[in-house]
Structure 1
Amino acid sequence: MSLQSSAPFLPSWLTWWQRPFPDANTLLLPGRQPALVDTGFVGHAEETAAWARAHARDIDLVVNTHWHSDHVGGNALLQLQGAAIAAGAPEAEAISRRDPGCCAAEYLDQPVAPYTVDVALDDGQVLRLGDADWEVVRTPGHTPGHLALWQPEEGLLVVGDALSDYDVGWVNLALDGPDAATTALVSLKRMADLAPRVILPSHGSIPSDPDAALVGALRRAQRLVDDPDGAVWYGARRILAFALMIRDGIPADAIEPYLHARAWLTDAARLLDVTPEALADELVTTMLRSSAVVLRDGRLHATADHTPVAAETLRVPYPRAWPVMGPR
């Protein structure tokens, strides 16, 4: 589904592409300095690049709200085609030094093709994207380098995974510390203080009532602060569902060995004070019971709407094997 710039509450100078999982929504800002905000999943990089070319020919700059695989998957291809990449400073620095933890790709077992960051973004920085100026707003929580983009004249706020009309971004208490949920809540309050006219989320549709969306997000985020165990469970469910989406499911007899080998599950089990084996079993059982996962033809599949991914597109190296690259 694509919601184009003809929507009555969007200005004519932008194009919005609403995409199902495993891709994040994509914002195109054509003009004198054509820019793209987020680039979807690596398995759909060719589709992302073709869409951008069809609407704006060349892309000068890609801005990532954060470095998860569903937001940076087209970076490598677009960079090869001449685009520069901009990202929040903490993530930009880690990518520049080729930190093995880049994008949490290996940790989450979510492939990301190697790319470099040309522009490190700081809070309050103003970017010319297309023909308009946008302000960078640091919104850590979902990841430490997560950012939003604010266009004050039109009241447009690109929020990444911080919130949607139905959800808030999961937080990683194991990697980012016990205060990650509180940090995410503070970021949401900062975004609410901007009083945006339009919220552009990375997943789902554009909220018809931005005030109500923010109120709901603040309520959900507070629950993650108040219930750390619930926050861990929430993240685990989201990570497993994504794994099933990008792999066209996982054989039922292979799911427990798959989970036992995952660092994120081991960390979640430690935080919940259970064994990884017990957590894996309960995670699968509860997701089947809730119909978030279904058993079909001997494979477990995520039931959320998603686009298939060709298996061969997942064969990219983990960041620890990314080539070291000098400045472009």
Structure 2
Amino acid sequence: MSPQPPTPTLPSWLIWWQRPFPDANTLLLPGRQPALVDTGFVGHADETAAWARAHAGNIDLIVNTHWHSDHVGGNSLLQAQGAAIAAGTPEAEAITRRDPGCCAAEYLDQPVAQYTVDVPLDDGQVLRLGDADWEVVRTPGHTPGHLALWQPEERLLVVGDALSDYDVGWVNLALDGPDAATTALASLKRMADLDPRVILPSHGPIPAAPAAAFAAALRRAQRLVDDPAGAVWYGARRIFAFALMIRDGIPADEVESYLHACAWLTDAARLLDVTVEVLAAELVTTMLRSGAIVLRDGRIHAAADHTPVAPEVLRVPYPRAWSATEPC
């Protein structure tokens, strides 16, 4: 076996925090304009804010790669402490309108505390984060407003959920249309063409070999394009595992009834042309068989490493109940 390449070195002017689920990795850019890229899950917002303050003082700006719950969970708390929030224009506009579908929070049954977006971001826009300039790169696919951040001098690329060392972001063919996987593949090709020295993903470690990571991601993304049913299954497995992580599992005798009530599973069943009951049972069975979920003490748990979440933090209101006037 050939030796593994070393992990690329990071410049001293940034701080990278690799976090287990249900949090996304967090990038901190201290300096004259302290900034944070993504803020983890709402259940760990206090931890996120305390960590950022300890390393950089007050945060001026938060940039969200996209609006899923594991990326925006600390927004509300940090905004109350004075941070502005920046996000891709499609998602920024929806949050400003207070669309009921914001963050896909209710659809995915993933809590998000209320926040506002102060700075809508468009493709090619340059942001001063910490003491360096970063370019916004629109990378729709995983969500319509998904974005990457490119630092050309150091050739650093923040890729959000577009890819990691072990997979690519799931795509939502029900909400975002049948071309979502093709859009995600095009975004990956655009990022690969930047030829980054360092990839900073939202989950997992920094890939040791960026070119190889992109090559693998492009193959995986092409499979989602070629196999729409497989793409639906891939998303369902990811969403269900996350639901188990943030709830410390679900009682085994309640798990299928929980799934029957989920909007995302109803849509997945429609796309796969099966009943909700059949899909829920098959999802549980196949994930138990593969080891992705486990039965322990009468509850179904996600097998992947994750940080516990206090039950009370899941009780924040869905966006349809967010106030039209209160910022957070």
TM-score band, normalised by shorter chain: over 0.9
How far apart, in 1, do the equivalents of 2:49 and 2:324 lie?
A: 24
SS at match of 2:85: strand
- In the TM superposition, what is the alpha-carbon distance from 1:281 to its structure 2 partner? 0.2
Counterpart position of 1:256:
256
Which residue identity is paired with 2:67?
Answer: W
Which residue identity is paired with 1:282?
Answer: E
Superposition map of 1:1-328 within 5 A: 9-325=9-325
Rate the CA distance shift 1:39–1:218 in 2: closer, same or farther, 3 A: same
Q: Percent identity?
A: 87
SS at match of 1:9: coil
How far apart, in 2, do the equivalents of 1:189 and 1:8 lie?
A: 21
Counterpart position of 2:3:
none
Which residue identity is paired with 1:167?
Answer: D
How far apart, in 2, do the equivalents of 1:200 and 1:239 lie?
A: 22
Which residue identity is paired with 1:195?
Answer: D
How far apart, in 2, do the equivalents of 1:133 and 1:293 lie?
A: 42
Which residue identity is paired with 1:285?
Answer: T
Which residue identity is paired with 2:49?
Answer: A
SS at match of 2:200: strand
Deviation string, structure 1 residues 231-289 (Cα, Å, up to 9, x no partner) = 00000000000000000000011111100000000000000000000000000000000
SS at match of 1:223: helix
Which residue identity is paired with 1:171?
Answer: V
SS at match of 2:12: coil
How many residues end up aligned between the 2 structures?
A: 322
Q: Is the 2:115–2:327 Cα contact (8 Å) retained in structure 1? A: no
Unaligned runs of 5+ in 2: 1-6
How far apart, in 1, do the equivalents of 2:264 and 2:124 lie?
A: 33
How far apart, in 2, do the equivalents of 1:50 and 1:68 lie?
A: 21
Which residue identity is paired with 2:102?
Answer: C
- In the TM superposition, what is the alpha-carbon distance from 1:327 to its structure 2 partner? 7.9
Which residue identity is paired with 1:38?
Answer: D
Deviation string, structure 1 residues 92-150 (Cα, Å, up to 9, x no partner) = 00000000000000000000000000000000000000000000000000000000000
- In the TM superposition, what is the alpha-carbon distance from 1:325 to its structure 2 partner? 2.4
SS at match of 1:111: coil
SS at match of 2:253: helix
Deviation string, structure 1 residues 289-320 (Cα, Å, up to 9, x no partner) = 00101111110000000000000111100000
Which residue identity is paired with 2:308?
Answer: P
SS at match of 1:253: coil
Counterpart position of 2:4:
none
Which residue identity is paired with 1:71?
Answer: H
How far apart, in 2, do the equivalents of 1:112 and 1:195 lie?
A: 34
How far apart, in 2, do the equivalents of 1:217 and 1:290 lie?
A: 22
What's the RMSD between the two structures over aligned residues?
1.0
Unaligned runs of 5+ in 1: 1-6
How far apart, in 2, do the equivalents of 1:118 and 1:212 lie?
A: 37
Which residue identity is paired with 1:10?
Answer: L
How far apart, in 2, do the equivalents of 1:201 and 1:262 lie?
A: 28
Q: Is the 2:8–2:208 Cα contact (8 Å) retained in structure 1? A: no
How far apart, in 1, do the equivalents of 2:223 and 2:8 lie?
A: 34
TM-score (norm 1): 0.97
Rate the CA distance shift 1:8–1:123 in 2: closer, same or farther, 3 A: closer
Q: Is the 2:8–2:197 Cα contact (8 Å) retained in structure 1? A: no
Deviation string, structure 1 residues 15-45 (Cα, Å, up to 9, x no partner) = 0000000000000000000000000000000
Q: Is the 2:266–2:276 Cα contact (8 Å) retained in structure 1? A: yes
How far apart, in 2, do the equivalents of 1:325 and 1:137 lie?
A: 31
SS at match of 1:50: helix
